């Protein structure tokens, strides 16, 4: 069995080198090649002795996911990749020029956590296509390494959001491993505060993550202000209704002091009325939260985007109730950046 280098931690590589009779620092050299120097092959690791490189080629491979398709948005900055894993499964990963909070100097990498998703949200292309398997931590950080190759000067200041395909909190242990790899100071080195885990509301996962002691941000895909509507849009709500979800979010804030973001997809004539805005305001009253509104990217279920007047009315109503609100900028739309869409188009052709 060959070892995939992408996904190994520094201590794993050091230990492995020792088992091969090599000094431990060789592990660090390999680690730097993978996570800092963007090596795609073992041959590139020119500061390793030739004999070791030969041995490594028999025992290991780098294993960055392969780019199957690349889509650029009109802004020429947003890039969406369709990536293929070793078993031929494909996921999407997106690079956006700004963070969701719009600080312009930063890149945001949007990662997938699973191939498909078992949760079946009504508006989501990934959910409607079903679940295949979890990604492992190497396949998750491999997306960052593939995306990073798309920019000339990635710099230090990147943001990472788990808002691609899949439900991260249903792939808990590999997500935690990937968070550690993303954060590692000798490696990719992203601050935990620059990482956001997005969940459809897996309540036990929220409590567990709160207790990890990692100051990562939590985004919760709310999309509805009452259980009746949320049961339809996010079927997981039947298992973890709002009266269980919201206390979990409060606990997340209490333990991490990170403000929770609530994602709310605006669906015309479904959840976009003043009535819904007021109900949402009441639901979240007293919680230190940010509401991020996302006009739907119409793919599944025949949903439509509200008019811009209706969107502004919704925002004003929430603000009058004292909520902090942002509207997600239009950028992914033209490149099917709502998760699952690019893969969906290609699967249909295959
Ligand atoms: N499973 C997690 C994370 C991945 S989905 C979750 O649901 O939070 C990431 C985000 O993409 C979610 O907020 C989801 O609601 C949103 N999304 C899915 N389909 C969309 C669509 N058609 N238009 C706009 N946003 C969509
Ligand atoms: Fe899964 Fe998130 Fe899509 Fe819902 S929105 S089906 S939880 S990926």
CATH number of the domain that residue 10 is part of: 1.10.150.530
Q: Is 70 in the same domain as 84?
A: yes
Write the CATH number for 301: 3.20.20.70
Question: What mean pLDDT comes out for the span 170-193?
Answer: 96
| Residue after which a domain boundary falls, among 22, 43, 61 | 61
Give the Å distance between the CA of 122 and the centre of ligand 2: 9
> Per the structure, how many domains does the chain have?
2
The candidate with the shortest Cα–Cα distance to 161, out of 197, 193, 127, 189, is: 197
- Which atom from ligand 2 is nearest to the alpha carbon of 200? 7
* CB 199 within 8 Å of CB 44: no
Pocket mutation for ligand 2, best pick of 122, 165, 167, 196 (most atoms within 8 Å of C-beta): 167
d(CA 194, CA 160): 6
What predicted TM-score, i.e. pTM, was given to this entire model?
A: 0.94
CA of 162 to the centre of ligand 2 (A): 11
117 is catalytic: no
pLDDT for residue 64 is more than 90:
yes
Q: Are residues 54 and 163 in the same domain?
A: no
Q: Provide the domain limits for residue 20.
A: 3-61
Does one domain contain both 223 and 248?
Answer: yes
Among 169, 198, 245, name the best residue to mutate to test ligand 1's pocket (greatest count of ligand atoms within 8 A of Cβ): 198
pLDDT tens digit string along 104-146?
457 889 999 999 999 999 999 999 889 999 999 999 999 999 9
Together in a domain, 48 and 196: no
For the Cβ of 220 lying below 6 angstroms from any atom of ligand 2, the answer is: no
Residues 70 and 56 both lie in one domain: no
Q: How many CB atoms lie within 10 A of CB 65?
A: 25
Instruction: Select from 256, 323, 335, 321 the least CA-distant residue to 293.
Output: 323
Q: Is the distance from CB of 141 to CB of 7 less than 8 angstroms?
A: yes
Query: What is the percent of the chain with per-residue pLDDT over 90, rounded to a whole number?
Result: 81
| 88 and 21, same domain (yes or no) | no
Residue 79 and residue 200 in one domain: yes
pLDDT over 70 (residue 303)? yes
Same domain, yes or no: 46 and 172: no
């Amino acid at each position: 069995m060959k070892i995939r280098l992408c996904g190994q931690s520094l201590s794993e590589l050091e230990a492995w080198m020792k088992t091969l009779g090599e000094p431990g620092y060789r592990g660090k050299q390999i680690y730097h090649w993978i996570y800092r120097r963007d090596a795609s092959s073992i041959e590139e690791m020119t500061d390793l002795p030739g004999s070791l490189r030969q041995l490594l080629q028999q025992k290991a491979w780098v294993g960055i996911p392969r780019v199957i398709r690349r889509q650029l948005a009109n802004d020429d900055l947003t890039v969406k990749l369709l990536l293929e894993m070793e078993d031929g499964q494909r996921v999407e990963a997106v690079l956006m020029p700004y963070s969701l909070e719009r600080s312009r100097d930063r890149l945001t990498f949007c990662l997938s956590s699973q191939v498909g998703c078992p949760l079946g949200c009504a508006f989501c292309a990934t959910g409607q296509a079903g679940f295949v398997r979890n990604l492992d931590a190497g396949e998750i950080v491999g997306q960052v390494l593939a995306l990073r190759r798309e920019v000339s000067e990635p710099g230090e200041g990147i943001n990472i959001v788990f808002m691609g395909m899949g439900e991260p909190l249903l792939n808990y242990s590999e997500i935690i491993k990937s968070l550690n790899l993303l954060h590692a100071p000798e490696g990719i080195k992203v601050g935990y505060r620059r990482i956001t885990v997005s969940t459809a509301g897996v309540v036990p996962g929220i409590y567990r993550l709160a207790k990890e002691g990692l100051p990562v941000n939590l985004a919760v895909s709310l999309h509805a202000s009452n259980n009746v509507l949320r049961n339809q849009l996010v079927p997981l709500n039947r298992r973890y209704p709002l009266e269980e979800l919201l206390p979990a979010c409060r606990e997340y804030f209490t333990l991490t002091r990170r403000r929770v973001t609530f994602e709310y997809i605006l669906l015309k004539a479904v959840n976009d009325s003043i009535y819904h805005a007021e109900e949402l305001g009441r639901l979240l009253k007293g919680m230190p939260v940010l509401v991020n509104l996302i006009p739907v990217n119409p793919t599944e279920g025949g949903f439509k985007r509200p008019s811009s007047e209706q969107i502004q009315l919704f925002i004003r109503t929430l603000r009058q109730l004292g909520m902090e609100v942002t509207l997600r900028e239009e950028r992914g739309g033209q490149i099917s950046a709502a998760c699952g869409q690019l893969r969906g188009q290609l699967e249909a052709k295959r």
